[in-house]
């Protein structure tokens, strides 16, 4: 008989076909779609986040787990009742202008989604103007910016300055991350926080929106 612990373990191991089979088995046994997400799929993905932050799992494995979880979510999502899945908040993610690194940012997106956040992924090499335009359109609770190069870090400052000019800075929290970024730099450019990895980015968003 399939159970939630088994499902979480299959997500952790990135076993896509097993996840699909177990989700279907749980549904056939009368388990609630929301319980399958919260007690199985998300539990597995949260463990992935912990192991990744401890360097016990690496990016290719995380992506396999994320894909397995996504397959499970895709099965149960159409069965959810309206209002079942309360979003924890909306986060707009972007790698700043001049920077083409997006694996870290995409991992943050995966972790946020598996913790109930709605994610708008703007991609890489995104200008301050484009970020502000998207922010006005989607009205996110948080903007997360990533930079992997010291030369592109200042685009984060430019974006925050533009947000102030456009009168939207007070309505949206801003978090930053990436190899050259630090808490000191976050304070310097008046961001709301710095996250060194995907798991702490989730924790930071939760704290800021609490």
Q: Is there a domain that residue 28 lies in?
A: yes
3-state secondary structure of 127: coil
Tell me: do 51 and 125 sit in the same domain: no
Query: Which domain CATH number covers 44?
Result: 1.10.1240.10
For residue 59, the model assigns a pLDDT of 87
For residue 84, the model assigns a pLDDT of 76
Alpha helices in the chain (DSSP H): 4-12, 16-28, 33-35, 42-53, 59-76, 103-114, 128-138, 154-165, 183-188, 198-209
DSSP code at position 171: G
Q: Is there a domain that residue 84 lies in?
A: no
For residue 31, the model assigns a pLDDT of 96
Q: CA-CA distance, 180 to 60, in Å (whole number)?
A: 23
Contacting residues for 36 by C-beta, under 8 A, at least 6 apart: 4, 7, 23, 26, 27, 72, 76
For residue 20, the model assigns a pLDDT of 97
Total structural domains in the chain?
Answer: 2
For the chain, give the mean pLDDT.
Answer: 94
Please say which residue of 26, 50, 79 terminates a domain: 79
Q: CA-CA distance, 28 to 61, in Å (whole number)?
A: 29
Query: Which domain CATH number covers 185?
Result: 3.40.50.280
Convert the pLDDT of each residue in 95-117 to its tens digit. 999 999 998 899 899 889 888 89
Q: What percent of the chain has pLDDT over 70?
A: 100
Q: CA-CA distance, 79 to 74, in Å (whole number)?
A: 10
What does the pLDDT average to over 61-75? 93
Q: Which residues span the domain enclosing 29?
A: 4-79
Residue 175's CB is within 10 A of a number of other CB atoms, namely: 23
For residue 44, the model assigns a pLDDT of 95
Q: Mean pLDDT lowest for which of 28-37, 109-118, 132-141, 172-181? A: 109-118
Cα→Cα distances 77→16, 24, 35, 97, Å: 17, 12, 12, 34
Please say which residue of 79, 104, 127 terminates a domain: 79
What does the pLDDT average to over 30-38? 93
For residue 87, the model assigns a pLDDT of 85
HSE on the CB side for 44, CA within 13 Å? 31
Tell me: do 120 and 204 sit in the same domain: yes
Q: In what order do the strands lie in the sheet with 142-146?
A: 118-121, 90-95, 142-146, 173-177, 193-194
What does the pLDDT average to over 178-205? 95
- pLDDT bucket at 143, cuts 50 / 70 / 90: very high
What does the pLDDT average to over 133-154? 97
- pLDDT bucket at 86, cuts 50 / 70 / 90: confident
Indicate if the pLDDT at residue 139 is higher than 80.
yes
Please indicate whether residue 59 or residue 137 has the higher confidence score (pLDDT).
137
**C-alpha 84: how far from chain center:** 20
Q: CA-CA distance, 156 to 160, in Å (whole number)?
A: 6
Convert the pLDDT of each residue in 49-67 to its tens digit. 889 889 999 989 998 999 9
DSSP code at position 38: I
3-state secondary structure of 193: strand
Q: CA-CA distance, 68 to 48, in Å (whole number)?
A: 12
Q: Is there a domain that residue 85 lies in?
A: no
For residue 166, the model assigns a pLDDT of 97
């Amino acid at each position: 008989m399939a159970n939630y612990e088994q499902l979480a373990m299959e997500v952790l191991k990135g076993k896509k076909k097993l996840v699909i089979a177990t989700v279907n088995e749980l549904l056939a046994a009368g388990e609630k779609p929301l319980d399958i997400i919260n007690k199985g799929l998300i539990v597995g993905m949260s463990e992935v986040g912990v192991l990744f932050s401890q360097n016990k799992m690496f990016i290719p494995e995380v992506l396999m787990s994320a894909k397995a979880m996504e397959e499970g979510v895709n099965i149960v999502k159409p069965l959810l009742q309206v209002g079942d899945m309360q979003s924890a908040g909306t986060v707009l993610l972007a790698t700043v202008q001049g920077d083409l690194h997006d694996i870290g940012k995409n991992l943050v997106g995966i972790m946020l989604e598996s913790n109930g956040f709605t994610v708008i992924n703007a991609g890489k090499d995104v200008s301050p103007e484009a970020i502000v335009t998207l922010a006005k359109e989607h009205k996110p609770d948080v903007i997360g910016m990533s930079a992997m190069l010291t030369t592109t870090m200042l685009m984060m400052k430019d974006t925050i300055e533009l947000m102030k000019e456009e009168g939207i800075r007070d309505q949206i929290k801003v978090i930053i991350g990436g190899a050259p970024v630090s808490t000191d730099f976050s304070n310097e450019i008046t961001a709301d926080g710095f996250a060194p990895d995907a798991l702490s980015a989730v924790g930071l968003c939760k704290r800021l929106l609490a």
